[in-house]
Structure 1
Amino acid sequence: MTDRAVDTRGHAVAVGDRIRILDITPDPDMDEDELEMVRFMIGSECEVDRIDEGGLVWVSMWWSCGDGTATSCAGLSSGQFERV
């Protein structure tokens, strides 16, 4: 795992930084409910959870659902987010 990545504007980003999600590439195996939650993440601001060896920035969001809570996680490449 690495501790730094670069956003769409070339700014350094680290674990704990706040970013805005600009785009997400959904997993082709997602069902419609998961896909809807992931698409809703675009434009949202959240904290960087981790940065993997490939430089993907991982974020997660929690959702309140009718039967409890759900979480969505996404790995973002540098063109898919900006530091705020």
Structure 2
Amino acid sequence: MGGVLVIGDRWDRNLQRDYDITEEMTKEFFITKFSACVIGKADLKEEIAPFLRKWNWSGSVDGFLHYWFCGSRILNEP
């Protein structure tokens, strides 16, 4: 298969624990905008920016995306 196993808590749980941004808060983005970003029909940075303001994210869009894609994950090396 060649996949990578990542160990750790679900991303949304970490987001709530670390920044008090709940799954309920992020649901609108994932329902309305995320799928277009995944298939390349929309720019993730542009689409998520208005939501970050709603979620009271104090950092940059790049900082949020780094947290999302790189934060608190441990690769299962074996």
**TM-score in terms of structure 2 length:** 0.27
Relative to its length, the structure with more helix (as a share) is: 2
Relative to its length, the structure with more strand (as a share) is: 1
Tell me which structure has the larger Cα radius of gyration: 2
